[in-house]
Structure 1
Amino acid sequence: MASTLLPDPQLIHRMCDVMVHRGPDGDGFHSDEHAVLGMRRLAIIDLATGDQPVYSENARVVAVFNGEIYNFAELRQDLIRRGHRLSSAGDSECLVHLYQEHGADLVRRLRGMFAFAIWDRDRERLVLARDRVGKKPLYWRADQSSIWFGSELKSLEQDPRMSREIDPVALHHYLTYQYVPAPWSIYQGVHKLPPGHLLIWERGEITVRRYWELDRTPRPVTDGRDEEERLRELLLEATRIRMVSERPIGAFLSGGVDSSAVVAAMAMQSHGQVKTFCVGFEDSRYDERHKARMVAERYGTDHHELVVTAGLLDVLPHLAWHFDEPFADSSAIPSFYVAQLSRRHVTVALNGDGGDECFAGYRRYVLMNRARRLPAIPRTLAALSARIGTVLTERSGTGSWPRHLGRLMRFAAERPSRRYPSLMASFTHEQKSRIYSDALHHRLAEVDSYGLLETIFRSSSADTDLGRALDVDTLTYLPGDLLVKVDTTTMANSLEARSPFLDHHLMEWAAGLPGELNISNGQTKLLLKRAVAPWLPEELLCYPKQGFGVPLAAWLRGELRELAFDVLTDGTARSRGLFKPPAIRHLLQRHMDGADHGGQLWALLQFELWHRAHASVSGVVAAEVGCPAPLT
């Protein structure tokens, strides 16, 4: 936008309208000579007086806000003691008064999930902030005189001036990790504000800074039973403050330890029957409904189930529209359906997200914990091990021992700081090079996706590879994959998701635990399991972690075979000039012949479905802020 033009209120209305699913209960707008802000509201707390935007007493500070502030009652009391006059009974209005007291540092006093914008009219200053872990999204783009932002990328797409040119580096990272990591977005010139960061825009000058990070320096522990009791206290409190709602509330119950512990904590603090929701599969390898029923029966919950079948995969184009960027975590499918099921009964759902990252629940952490004993491998032997491992992995079927051996050989061949990125990768650099067009290969030849995770691994405050891996996941996989999946699928159904394990007080306490309290003798989440053992059926604690996966490889050989071939090999896909058509067809055929390329094909399929839903088309917070005069 040229600096001599005023902001466009109609654009902001379109930006909000396209996100009506995030806020079906109403909207609100602010407009002045330099800024237009808008929002959509999903009413949860303070139904009567909680409309936005919110203003300071003199109306010179304005805020729009997406999320929940769980300590708002204490914040309100303190603000009133300091002489502020608050006209509502909810959390949103606290932001403008906290800004008057503390400036941008107000974010440090918030306990919750949020993306917010504060417009200081006197200073012509915009403050954008995202919560510590990244539960709520925030996209932005800027030129020399203006800035645009929104909770969803599709809101920014409403501006016809925004370029739809794909960022090849973002695509490169997406194929490695199955999501586009912050601060990239799939479009050039558009950014994601990373979790735990502030952005300050003042008369065209932009500053981005981090305001929170975990300290993983281990603290001394003298009595494990004291730690168990403290964990129960923290989880009960984190759950209790997330149960505040004027709308019906329930919980996702997968059958895993994390969601089961949250349901138990809810039941022990609820005056009524807890509503629980679970999805499963006909394939018993992916179905955990029997475990969820154990907890539902123990606590007498109002339990609801749904079986996800391949016949429900017609939802894929719908999901591609809701996920504003290519997103290849196939568990988005059951996540969407459990959110849809839940929304028929409740407006808020608690979940177990974050338990694995806080207490080392993934099996890959066991491998990282053991890898410290691996001897250094000579360079020539490492190269050979990597080549053999790649061949075994690419030619073996799902879950076979040669495939596991191949992954282990590739893992061992990497230097220690690159082992964890290699575990997290869907495509290796060499595999991507085979499918890239010559032009794309030349453009990306020197771009190292593993380096993103390696940098975090090396800079972690943890003193073990296990702790460093937990740091990597907390800063990348958790906000880039898991939280995007949950936020997008729940908001697509106008459902709010809340995560007690991601309470920053609980996370900061858990970050200081010695590694042996989380993993020992190949067992994961030891402290958490001991802490919640009095709450849960004993049998449940003995099950191995199953995850929220789907029978992807089988679907691609069966019900999705025709879709995969049609979408990935038709003229539309070939015309993009990004990939080599023979290489894509070869990958498809190898999968149909028994090798497992399900994850890679899914990533390519989701990219193409996304492209057709977004990039190929011209195109709950949204805003545009502009300078009053050309900058010098």
Structure 2
Amino acid sequence: MSFGTLRARHGECRYAHHPNGSDAATTMCGIAGFLRATSVNEPGDPGILRAMAAAIRHRGPDDEDVWHAGGAGFAHRRLAVIDPAPHGRQPMLRGDGRWAITFNGEIYNYKELRRELEGEGERFQTQSDTEVLLAALIRWGVQALNRLNGMYAFAFWDSRDKRLLLARDRIGKKPLYYAKVGDTLVFGSEIKAVLAWPDLERRPNLEAIHHYLALQYVPSPFTAFEGVERLPPGSFVEISPGEAPIAKRYWNLSAPVETNPAAKFDVAALAEEARELLETSVRRRMVADVPVGAFLSGGVDSSAVTAMMAIQSSRPVKTFSIGFDHADYDERKYARMVAERYGTDHYEEVVDADASEILPDLVWHYGEPFADSSALPTFHVSRLARQHVTVALSGDGGDEFFLGYQRYGACANMAWIDHVPGFAREAAKWTANAIPAALAGRRYIRGARRLLQYVSSTGLQRYEPMMMYFQQDDRLAAYGELLQPYAAVSSLNILQPYFQASSDMAVGAAWADIHTYLPDDLLVKVDVASMAFGLECRAPFLDVELMEWASRVPAAAKMPGGVLKGLLKKAVEPLLPAEIINRPKLGFGAPIEPWLKRDLFELAEGVLTDSRTENRKLFRPGYAATLLREHRDGIRLNHTRIWAMLILEFWFRTWIDPPLSPTAAPSKQNQQLSKLSC
């Protein structure tokens, strides 16, 4: 193992305008474009398209091109990861320009699809998955989406039928945003590209902000901007000029299997299946003509991916880890165990509170408020990885599909509450409500009150404290004039349809996470952080075959003996040190709690108690000061709420208040953003 440590401070196919194109298999990139209500392009359209592309230049630093005709326009930024020569340039055209596509992502089964299409008479000029996707859409239409295995977002235009198709992969690994501005539909890989449209007015979406405060992220299809939507995973929009966009599902994950209490499972056989599926998925994602590495946290998921990469690679795998200056958050010793076992070229970066200096960059790149504190280490590990590789594999999805989160265990352990008699539930509810507000914030009393609330609540209500960071009591105490209308609106309503898919509370919680937390938090976090540095991130656990298989495995088999992620641990046990298999799970979040008591207290106080912040009327006067004092003095742990409010205010000052261009690079904005705390 080589080791480095850093300390952080901070028919015929052609290409638009490219007659000499040849072959390229895969490009990761950023896309943008529009569809006008008329078939006439405006003289300024090329400039607008280039401005939209400039806003997401970081997603594809290798190349840029635009195309426009018949009232439609596409922009494309390219990051080449297979055959980096200028072969796979987009937008790509076919049929004398009748069809056009701009595509972000990769299709893992494109060779199989190509053979099938060739059997139906198609002929190809390149080896690219883009050309295969274009041919598939021409021949099979929307039904082609059901045949794809990959991560992707794309726009496909048929100039004769005047139909635009926007689509996103099944689980939401690649993003796509859109807005109707007058009679024009505008879309892009990031909100910044959409905001570059000159007539789009930036207005905060207060309902989305309400959900953000509860969840720490903005759930689909909402965004933080009025009139801008995120296309949900597994969905498409098919639209003609002037029509209103309506998202439709093309794929739904198989419903979770209910556990038969009398059923017995061959855990060893299931573990072998899981290992084989994961190995195949890892192999698919190691294909590239540029250096490939892995994010290695030291947890089971990333360690398993690293081990399988090392076994299948003829060269040492490059691995990347983040550590913290607080031991309770630092997993580097576990990452080193795996790195040493497999002889990886291992790189580390230690993050301390000074890493908060990148907050202006984070706020700019995410484009909307995003309070998951693990965005900080993800941003740092992406920057570190990009110094050495162009592609990195991650362990995302393992916890959701194999029941790895502590909250799933808590759900299973609370099943007894369903058998509590009604009179006892009422007594618990009365006692919880009788606790004086002055005492309810104290740590131990708050815990006792929460237990009483658990006993008196339904399954979904019991889940609220595990996932909601601004609960109803918090909202009533916090919300000012503008947010007050939403104080009684529970964000649990977003989770409810998925949560009720199973009578097993743990399964329902995982099902809700797969459809909300995973695509709208975790995958957004990784996509934005990695693409900020032109790094492609691939997630083997989110292969469609593996996801479908895992959804058919009952919870009792995934947690044999009540062991969280027991099936997956059994599957990868031969590959990993026992310390990795048996260690308790530690989240990837930053040590925001101690930082906000000391290192970041002055910053948070300066921003959140500033008159500029309080004049927004989002929160009650003095509420932020109370939170800060309670947290600093150890009266109540308020760090998640403080952090969410801090990020929200930074977002307002970055995207709503000033006339900053979304095309400006973060480095050019930092002089203004450094004044955020003023």
- Asked if Structure 1 and Structure 2 have the same fold, meaning a TM-score greater than 0.5 normalized by the shorter chain, the answer is yes
1:543-582 matches, within 5 Å, as 543-582=583-622
**Which residue is 2:74 aligned to?**
37
Structure 2 vs 1, CA of residues 409 and 285 (structure 1 numbering), >3 Å: closer, same or farther?
farther
Equivalent residue, structure 1, for 2:491: 449
CA shift, 1:407, in A, is 4.2
Q: Which moved more, 1:234-243 or 1:419-428?
A: 419-428
Query: Take 2:652 and 2:196, find their aligned partners in 1: how far apart are those partners?
Result: 16
Structure 1 residue 57: Cα displacement: 3.6
User: Looking at both structures, which has the greater relative contact order when contacts are Cα pairs under 8 Å and sequence separation is at least 6?
Assistant: 1
Distance verdict in 2 for CA 1:593–1:542, change over 3 Å: same
Deviating runs (4+, > 4 A) in structure 1?
1-5, 218-222, 386-393, 401-407
SS at match of 2:104: strand
Tell me the residue number matched to 2:12: none
1:346 and 2:389 are equivalent in the alignment: yes
Distance 1:59 1:519, change over 3 A: same
Counterpart of 1:213? 252
Q: Which residue of 2 aligns with 1:63?
A: 101
Q: Indicate the residue corresponding to 2:29 in structure 1.
A: none
- Correspondence for 1:382: 429
CA shift for structure 1 position 164: 1.3
Deviations 1:529-580 (A, max 9, x none): 0010011111211100011122111101111111101111112212222222
CA deviation vs aligned residue, 1:303-346 (integer Å, no higher than 9, x gap):
11111111222111111111111000011111111111100000
Paired residue for 2:647, among 586, 606, 612?
A: 606
| Change in CA separation of 1:292 and 1:116 when aligned onto 2, cut-off 3 Å | same
Mapped partners of 2:390, 2:609: distance in 1: 41
Distance 1:351 1:393 in 2: 41
How far did residue 217 of structure 1 move?
2.2
Q: Quote the Cα distance in structure 2 between the aligned partners of 1:252 and 1:87.
A: 36
Deviations 1:90-146 (A, max 9, x none): 211122111112101211111111111111111111111111111111111115632
**1:457-606 equivalences in 2 (<5 Å):** 457-458=499-500, 460=501, 462-594=502-634, 595-606=636-647
Task: Give 1:413's aligned residue.
Answer: 456
* SS of residue matched to 1:27: strand
Equivalent residue runs for 1:11-160 within 5 Å: 11-48=48-85, 49-143=87-181, 145-160=183-198
Name the SS for the 2:293 alignment partner: strand
SS at match of 1:489: helix
State the match for 1:395 in structure 2: 442
Distance in 2 separating the partners of 1:150 and 1:387: 51
CA distance in 2, matches of 1:584, 1:64: 45
User: d(CA) in 1 for partners of 2:483 and 2:219?
Assistant: 19
| Equivalent AA in structure 1 for residue 57 of structure 2 | V
Cα distance between partner residues in 2 of 1:386 and 1:293: 49
- On the 8 A contact 1:388/1:409 being kept in 2, the answer is no
Aligned pairs for 1:296-335 (under 5 A) are 296-335=339-378
| Change beyond 3 A, Cα 1:199–1:129 | same
Q: Does the Cα contact within 8 Å between 1:139 and 1:190 map onto a contact in 2?
A: yes
Contact 1:326-1:607 at 8 Å conserved across structures: yes
> Can you list the C-alpha shifts for 1:278-319, whole angstroms capped at 9, x where unaligned?
011121111111101111111111111111111222111111
Q: 1:67 to 1:597 in 2, by over 3 A?
A: same
How far the C-alpha of 1:418 sits from its partner, in A, is 2.6
Shift in CA distance, 162/409, structure 1 to aligned 2, threshold 3 Å: farther
Contact 1:357 1:473 in 2 (8 A): yes
Give the whole-Å Cα distance in 1 for the aligned partners of 2:541 and 2:352.
Answer: 30
Higher mean displacement: 589-598 or 41-50: 41-50
Q: Which amino acid aligns with 1:516?
A: A
Q: Which residue of 2 aligns with 1:617?
A: 658
Tell me if structure 2 keeps the 8 A contact 1:218–1:511: no
2:435 equivalent to 1:358: no
CA distance in structure 2 between the partners assigned to 1:391 and 1:304 by the alignment: 49
Query: How many Å separate the matches in 2 of 1:406 and 1:200?
Result: 50
Instruction: Please tell me whether the aligned partners of residues 467 and 515 of structure 1 are also in contact (alpha carbons under 8 angstroms).
Output: yes
How many angstroms apart in 1 are the aligned matches of 2:526 and 2:577?
Answer: 27
Identity of aligned residues (%): 43
Query: Could you say which residue in structure 2 is the equivalent of 1:629?
Result: none
In the TM superposition, 1:218-233 aligns within 5 A as 218=258, 222-233=265-276
| CA distance in structure 2 between the partners assigned to 1:544 and 1:387 by the alignment | 36
Contact 1:70 1:241 in 2 (8 A): yes
The amino acid of 1:552's aligned partner reads I
Q: Relative to structure 1, is the Cα distance of residues 160 and 446 closer, same or farther in structure 2, using a 3 angstrom cutoff?
A: farther
User: Aligned partners of 1:383, 1:91: CA distance in 2, in Å?
Assistant: 62
Does residue 185 of structure 1 match 2:223? yes
8 Å contact from structure 2 (residues 464, 471) kept in 1:
no
User: Cα gap change, 1:547/1:370 in structure 2, threshold over 3 Å: closer, same or farther?
Assistant: same
Using a 3 Å threshold, how does the CA distance of structure 1 residues 232 and 337 change in structure 2: closer, same or farther?
A: same
User: In structure 1, what is the Cα distance between the partners aligned to 2:397 and 2:483?
Assistant: 36
* Shift of residue 70, structure 1, vs aligned partner: 1.1
The 3 A distance-change label for structure 1 pair 511 and 560 is same
The alpha-carbon deviation at position 438 of structure 1 amounts to: 2.9
Count of aligned residue pairs for this structure pair: 613
C-alpha distance 402-511 of structure 1, shift in aligned 2 (>3 A) = farther
Comparing 566-575 and 3-12, the one that deviates more: 3-12
Task: Return the letter of the residue paired with 1:248.
Answer: P
Instruction: Return the offset for 1:86.
Output: 2.0
Shift of 1:161: 1.6
Letter in 1 for 2:283: R
Which of 302, 310, 316 aligns to 1:267? It is: 310
Output the CA distance in 2 between the equivalents of 1:602 and 1:574. Answer: 16
Contact 2:460–2:492 under 8 Å retained in 1? no
Q: Return the offset for 1:352.
A: 0.4
Q: Could you list the per-position Cα deviations for residues 43-92 of structure 1 after superposition, in whole angstroms to 9, with x for gaps in the alignment?
A: 11242321111122432111111111111121222222222222221211
Displacement, 1:456? Answer: 2.1
Shift of 1:384: 3.4
Change in CA separation of 1:26 and 1:226 when aligned onto 2, cut-off 3 Å: same
Q: 1:343 to 1:383 in 2, by over 3 A?
A: farther
Deviation at 1:402, TM superposition (A): 5.8
Q: Which runs of 5+ in 2 are unaligned?
A: 1-34, 664-678
Match of 2:18 in 1: none
1:151-206 alpha-carbon deviations (Å, 9 max, x no partner): 11111111232121111110110000000000001011110111111111123333
